[in-house]
Chains A and B, each alone.
Chain A
């Protein structure tokens, strides 16, 4: 079945460092891919998404490119801030399933000043 695999955390970075969180997926068909962020004690917020191959999603300085050839959707940010500390989830959605999402295990990011 469909699945999502993320790099394990926690990831600890200094402020202004470059961030990459790897995400790879297995899916039949052509899923849409998402990154969600969860701040401590809160629900999920959509960070960015891409709906087809070679699409680049971007938001708040974060970017991810839908790579069909490598089945990847890695999250990147050029310069992280302390406020980016959160758990990041990569997710896959097949819209022929009406919006059901399959999540990766989450990667905790901690940014130190």
Chain B
């Protein structure tokens, strides 16, 4: 079964509202999680690295005030798209680098979340 779960898998929101996407590691503690964005028929672009208990590290060009990342526990990271606009519509995927009973050098991906802003 999935070891990293994302929720919701699909969400539609109105322009100007905020939407939160959750990424959970189901049976291991994820000290680090990563958030990627994928436009249709394109590759995945890393948005930010989320470290438990500290601020996220954003890639160049990613607006940290627009894409809020919180990694408050070892099993949960959240991505909040604030004041969403249609151009934020995309497929967002998280991944987790495990510790504990999962090898630290194995990376697990969530199922992804489709965001549509109307």
Interface of A is mostly: strand
- Interface flag for B97 (CB, 8 Å): yes
A105 to chain B, nearest CB (A): 5
- Interface positions, chain B 10-44, Cβ under 8 Å from A, are 32, 34, 41-44
- Report the Cα distance A50→B88, complex, angstroms: 34
B97 adjacent to A99 (CB under 8 Å): yes
A39 to chain B, nearest CB (A): 11
- Which of the 9-residue segments B65-73, B79-87, B103-111 touches chain A? B103-111
Given that A100-B46, A102-B46, A106-B42 are contacting pairs, would A42 and B107 also be in contact in the complex, using a CB cutoff of 8 Å? no
Q: Which residues of A contact B78 (CB under 8 A)?
A: none
- Interface flag for B89 (CB, 8 Å): no
Given that A98-B32, A99-B34, A100-B34 are contacting pairs, would A89 and B43 also be in contact in the complex, using a CB cutoff of 8 Å? yes
The interface size of chain B toward A, counting residues with CB under 8 Å, comes to 20
Q: Which residue of A lies closest to B33 (CB)?
A: A99
- Interface flag for B93 (CB, 8 Å): yes
B95 adjacent to A106 (CB under 8 Å): no
A105 adjacent to B42 (CB under 8 Å): yes
Given that A95-B105, A103-B43 are contacting pairs, would A43 and B34 also be in contact in the complex, using a CB cutoff of 8 Å? no
- Report the Cα distance A42→B109, complex, angstroms: 11
Query: Taking beta carbons and an 8 Å cutoff, which residues of A are in contact with B?
Result: 32, 36, 42-46, 51, 87, 89, 93, 95, 98-106, 108
Contacts A44-B44, A89-B43 known; list 4 others, CB within 8 Å: A99-B34, A99-B96, A103-B43, A103-B44
Which 5 A-B pairs have CB atoms at the shortest separation, nearest pair first? A99-B97, A43-B112, A43-B111, A44-B109, A105-B43
Return 27 A-B CB contacts under 8 Å, by A number. Answer: A36-B109, A42-B112, A43-B6, A43-B109, A43-B110, A43-B111, A44-B44, A44-B112, A46-B107, A87-B41, A89-B44, A93-B107, A95-B105, A98-B49, A98-B97, A99-B34, A99-B107, A100-B46, A101-B34, A101-B44, A101-B46, A101-B95, A103-B45, A104-B43, A105-B42, A105-B43, A106-B41
